[in-house]
Amino acid sequence: MYHLTKISNNAKTGPIAVSTSSKSTCPDDCPLKEKGCYAGNGPLNLHWQKVTNGERGVSFDDFLLQVGALPIESEYRHNQAGDLPGEHGQIDAPKLARLAATTKKRKLKAFTYSHYNVISNLNNRLAIKQANEQGFTINLSANHISEVDNLLALKIAPVAVIMPINAPKVSYTAAGNKVVICPAQTNDETRCIDCMLCAKNDRSFSIGFIAHGTSAKKAALATNNLG
């Protein structure tokens, strides 16, 4: 099931459209699955569970109709919780292609993040590459700064990476690739709608996220980012 909130009340995102996908879309490759995911607690988790149980949300086809009715050129964060269409570690490439085509038709400033394996899974790699080429920005999720270089070397998508709690605003990988901490984490007045760096798939740096939420320490431990 998929749920679309046309105007989010989340203070971090600001008033943009956000979606939620069933927990079954989350691949086992994600070390935060049941181990510190920021979406796994509080009101968001209650909402996420209802989407997963089918109490809220709609089918994928109806979800595309909803996305296709968003205002032209508006901001859209796909998945405040959940991952790309797919199950058991395999992206549903045809569904993702349809979603990317829908965001392109509406000229949405659309972005998301994915923990699906793209290093050894060719299907996932091609699906994400093609979506980014359509203008739907999918950030590859790195669990540690040591993973950034290998993901960038694929040249299919920008990268977002979990960083240590004591990370500086700007860091560099072993290969010299730049990582900038999410501006919303370094400035309380900055929201996604004000920034939208994660929607730029041609940016010259990766975005770093310091583990946050009520399970921040658990997330940092699961990704070797205690600092």
Residue with tokens 């990370």: 167
Burial class of 227 by CB neighbour count within 10 A (0 to 12, 13 to 18, 19+): exposed
- How many angstroms separate the CA atoms of 140 and 8, rounded? 24
Total-model pTM: 0.93
85-141 pLDDT tens trace:
999 999 999 999 999 999 999 999 999 999 999 999 999 999 999 999 999 999 999
Q: pLDDT-derived band of residue 84, with 50, 70 and 90 as boundaries?
A: very high
pLDDT tens digit string along 175-188?
999 999 999 999 98
Mean of the pLDDT values across residues 201-219? Answer: 80
Average pLDDT in the 160-165 region?
A: 92
Residue 49 parent element (H or E) = helix 42-53
State residue 213's pLDDT score.
60
Alpha helices in 54-201 (DSSP H): 60-67, 93-105, 122-133, 148-153, 183-186, 192-195
- pLDDT-derived band at 217 (thresholds 50, 70, 90) equals low
pLDDT value at residue 185: 92
17 vs 24: CA distance, rounded Å: 22
Averaged over 146-150, what is the pLDDT? 97
Percent of the chain with pLDDT over 70: 92
pLDDT in tens, 23-71: 999 999 888 887 768 777 788 889 999 999 999 999 999 999 999 999 9
